[in-house]
Amino acid sequence: MSEYIPTIGLEIHSELKTRTKMFCSSKNDANETRPNVNICPICMAHPGTLPVINAEAVKSVLRVGVALGATLADYTEFDRKNYFYPDLPKGYQLSQYEYPLVSGGELNGIAITRIHLEEDTASSVHTEDPSTSSGQGGVTTIDYNRAGVPLMELVTEPVITSAKQAGDFARELQLLLRTLGASDANMEKGEMRVEANVSVSKGNQLGTKVEIKNLNSFRAMERAVEYEIKRQTALLERGEKVVQETRGWDESKQSTFVQRVKEGSADYRYFPDPDLPSLKLSELPEYSEETLRKSLPELPRERRSRYLALGVKGEDTELYMREPMLGAFFEGVIAGFKGDKSRVVLASNYIANDLVALLRDDEKRDTDYRANMPISARNFSKVIEMLSERKISSRAAKGILAESVKSGRDPEEVARSENLYQMSAGSDFEAVVRSTLATNPSVVADYRAGKLAALEYLVGQSMKATKGAADPSTLRELTLKLIKEA
């Protein structure tokens, strides 16, 4: 019996980080907490007002298109999508229907259908009446700060085959949008909203799809997709049918539930907005692919391959891509190493293992280090330099690093004041070991008589005398050599 194969297509909305709204000069500020302050007659749809296209928003979407290797539109226009809802002051949403700004392209090997530009709706806040058990009698208030904020919608082809692949795509898009400065793309803040379309089928023909909404995190999205694949497979195996519908994700029950059944597609009576000009982008040099390409920063995939080419481990590379603070720190450290691979790799090992552990050990810093790194890249680099020049042992390096993270002290100063500099060429260690042997003749005799533990004791005494500056293995070798010579 063949298996049911899942198919997933994503629709992802992202609020663009522009100074002003999509069609007026009201501020676009996602962090504004006072309701209804960033509004004006245009985004409140007063009669007689006229919208103006935000060039920054258009450019932002086109840059995303270039980064995805997509085709930019020669010609584009904005359409009215008509429907009634209290969060939509005009009674229609300005969106793009026939002529999206961007078509095609791919991310993580997933084909993209289109990216278009539209405006966000206001946010509705529902409050329940605490005096009634049903919550009935509460009110809904509307905050129009979000009404008219530029919104980019990206639609993928139905070519994703697992929840993990869907999650990876959305995470990679978030990273790209942040890298480009197009959107802050925080899922929890609603700056990025993912809708997943899921179907399962056995043959080449795609099955009936279900659309899942209310996904506030990547985890929730992955769980919802997994749940839906199982639910649909079980239905079909029982000989039942999948109903085309919109479902929500219930976080507490970890299951999807019916929101509404689709009765044919809603008639939005799309038509080109008569108040806005159409755009002939091919006639505007500042929107040309060539100009936009020059404005792109290093893209995530380029940054990844740069790290890998330097010899950085794959998992460390992903850590720097995922954690902006650690990524910026790593950049700061390797900038001084000028492509010296062995130092870069050494630094990466100490960041991904020792430094991350130190930051996590200190509970207060567990969340803090994302905002505030307790050691400077310069100081960290000094530890790596001393280590790679063998001026200090790896054991000393760990201690110095811990001290510098805790107190902010200069690692060279710590090494000096704590006598952790590995004395050069081993000659000074030799003096230490000689003195250990000289002051412990009975232990030396024990070792000669076959007591192996005696050697460890002697090494331990020398370790103490060098305050950990020397590697135990170096001291053990020297001890053996000098006992033999004596």
Distance (Å, whole) CA 74 – CA 99: 9
Cα-Cα-Cα-Cα dihedral of 471, 458, 420, 341, to 10°? 0
DSSP state of 22: S
**Residue 160 or 384 having the CB closest to ligand ADP:** 160
Query: What's the min distance (Å) between Cβ of 232 and ligand ADP?
Result: 10
Cα–Cα–Cα angle for 341, 345, 351, rounded to 5 degrees: 145
Query: What's the min distance (Å) between Cβ of 206 and ligand ADP?
Result: 3
**Residue 115 or 347 having the CB closest to ligand ADP:** 115
**Residue 206 or 328 having the CB closest to ligand ADP:** 206
Query: What's the min distance (Å) between Cβ of 199 and ligand ADP?
Result: 3
**Counting contacts by CB under 6 A, is residue 245 touching ligand ADP?**
no
**3-class secondary structure for 210-250?**
EEEEEECCHHHHHHHHHHHHHHHHHHHHCCCCCCCEEEEEE
Residues 127-186 that bind ligand ADP (CB under 6 A): 155-158
Evaluate whether 300 touches 321 at the Cβ level (below 8 Å). Answer: yes
**Residue 14 or 381 having the CB closest to ligand ADP:** 14
**Counting contacts by CB under 6 A, is residue 7 touching ligand ADP?**
yes
Distance (Å, whole) CA 92 – CA 100: 18
- CA-closest candidate to residue 121, choices 212, 190, 195, 72: 190
Determine the size of the site formed for ligand ADP (CB under 6 A). Answer: 16
In terms of C-beta density within 10 A (0-12 exposed, 13-18 middle, 19 or more buried), how is residue 397 classed? Answer: buried
**Counting contacts by CB under 6 A, is residue 209 touching ligand ADP?**
yes
φ/ψ of 3, rounded to 5, equals -90, 155
Closest residue to ligand ADP, based on beta-carbon distance: 9
Query: What's the min distance (Å) between Cβ of 201 and ligand ADP?
Result: 8
- Region binding ligand ADP by CB under 6 A among candidate stretches 3-11, 23-31, 302-310, 429-437: 3-11
199, 256, 422, 462: which one binds ligand ADP (CB under 6 A): 199
Query: What's the min distance (Å) between Cβ of 44 and ligand ADP?
Result: 29
| Cα dist from 451 to 228, 233, 437, whole Å | 67, 69, 15
- Region binding ligand ADP by CB under 6 A among candidate stretches 6-14, 78-86, 101-109, 228-236: 6-14
**Residue 38 or 156 having the CB closest to ligand ADP:** 156
- Region binding ligand ADP by CB under 6 A among candidate stretches 58-66, 86-94, 201-209, 370-378: 201-209
Query: What's the min distance (Å) between Cβ of 182 and ligand ADP?
Result: 20
**Residue 105 or 207 having the CB closest to ligand ADP:** 207
**Counting contacts by CB under 6 A, is residue 14 touching ligand ADP?**
no
**Counting contacts by CB under 6 A, is residue 197 touching ligand ADP?**
yes
**Counting contacts by CB under 6 A, is residue 105 touching ligand ADP?**
no
What is the sign of the dihedral through the CA atoms of 443, 448, 450 and 452? positive
**Counting contacts by CB under 6 A, is residue 399 touching ligand ADP?**
no
Residues 249-268 that bind ligand ADP (CB under 6 A): 265
**Counting contacts by CB under 6 A, is residue 418 touching ligand ADP?**
no
**What are the contacts of 321-326 at 24+ separation with CB within 8 A?**
321/175, 322/175, 323/370, 324/178, 324/370, 325/369, 325/370, 325/371, 325/373, 326/351, 326/356, 326/369
Cα-Cα-Cα-Cα dihedral of 251, 252, 253, 258, to 10°? -50
Distance (Å, whole) CA 358 – CA 210: 46
Alpha helix (H) residue ranges in 310-440:
314-322, 324-335, 341-349, 356-361, 363-368, 377-388, 394-407, 411-417, 427-439
**Counting contacts by CB under 6 A, is residue 273 touching ligand ADP?**
no
- Region binding ligand ADP by CB under 6 A among candidate stretches 116-124, 191-199, 366-374, 470-478: 191-199
**Residue 116 or 303 having the CB closest to ligand ADP:** 116
Distance (Å, whole) CA 460 – CA 454: 10
**Counting contacts by CB under 6 A, is residue 235 touching ligand ADP?**
no
**Counting contacts by CB under 6 A, is residue 37 touching ligand ADP?**
no
Binding site for ligand ADP (CB under 6 A): 7-11, 155-158, 197-199, 206-207, 209, 265
